[in-house]
A and B are shown apart, each in its own frame.
Chain A
Amino acid sequence: QQQVKQSPQSLIVQKGGISIINCAYENTAFDYFPWYQQFPGKGPALLIAIRPDVSEKKEGRFTISFNKSAKQFSLHIMDSQPGDSATYFCAASVGSGTYKYIFGTGTRLKVLA
């Protein structure tokens, strides 16, 4: 019940295309859903996050869609660029408390020029 399942494991998208990464959770107590971006040799960086009181949050080319009834949330990267090539992690927690933070296994995104 504590798992966050992330798919796909890897993704190849053409420049200008839409990248979609999905996550599913089971614990209905989760109420904070962030996405992290990690470049090779770097630590993860918080990209965007959503709480379950909204169904969508957009920041620039990045959008989180949240479906509370299905217990799923997804990251959409519009107009994907080669510079977006990185590993993306979803996560879930109760509040934003560290000790209950569960991460997905990551999606390696490659955007072709």
Chain B
Amino acid sequence: KAGVTQTPRYLIKTRGQQVTLSCSPISGHRSVSWYQQTPGQGLQFLFEYFSETQRNKGNFPGRFSGRQFSNSRSEMNVSTLELGDSALYLCASSPLAGRTDTQYFGPGTRLTVL
């Protein structure tokens, strides 16, 4: 069974731009969660989608948004990029909503904001 895939793997943007990241979950998984990983803050939860609905949201500004499609694929969008948005963005899929013990992470998208 294929794992969680994220595209692109690397991205360079400039301040003020917007970016869209994509995540394809493991087949059959309907929950997709997004995390931001930085050296200073570690792993921080962004939001979780299940069956195309956002179930939970972390403490991030409204510039961070997401959506999930009927095939469970998810996209995350960051508008008006800031230097501090440079991070590794991870998505994780699970067959169950709100269950981190059944969660599998993708390799991440490394975003650099110049």
Contact = CB atoms under 8 A, between A and B. Distances in A.
A43 B52 CA distance: 23
A49 interface: yes
Interface string A35-52: 000000111111001000
B108 A46 contact: no
B42 A97 contact: no
Interface string A94-113: 01111101011110000000
Contacts of B55: 98-99
Interface stretch (B13-21, B70-78, B96-104): B96-104
Contacts of B99: 96-98
Interface string B18-50: 000000000000000100000001111100100
B58 interface: yes
Given A34-B101, A97-B100, A103-B43, A43 B107 contact: yes
Given A45-B105, A46-B101, A103-B42, 18 more contacts: A32-B100, A32-B101, A41-B107, A43-B92, A43-B108, A44-B105, A46-B100, A46-B103, A89-B42, A89-B43, A91-B100, A93-B100, A96-B100, A98-B45, A98-B56, A99-B45, A99-B48, A99-B56
Interface residues of B, number: 24
Interface string B87-113: 000101000001111011111100000
Nearest to B3: A43
B42 A43 contact: no
11 contacts: A32-B100, A42-B105, A42-B107, A43-B107, A44-B90, A91-B43, A97-B100, A98-B55, A98-B56, A101-B45, A103-B43
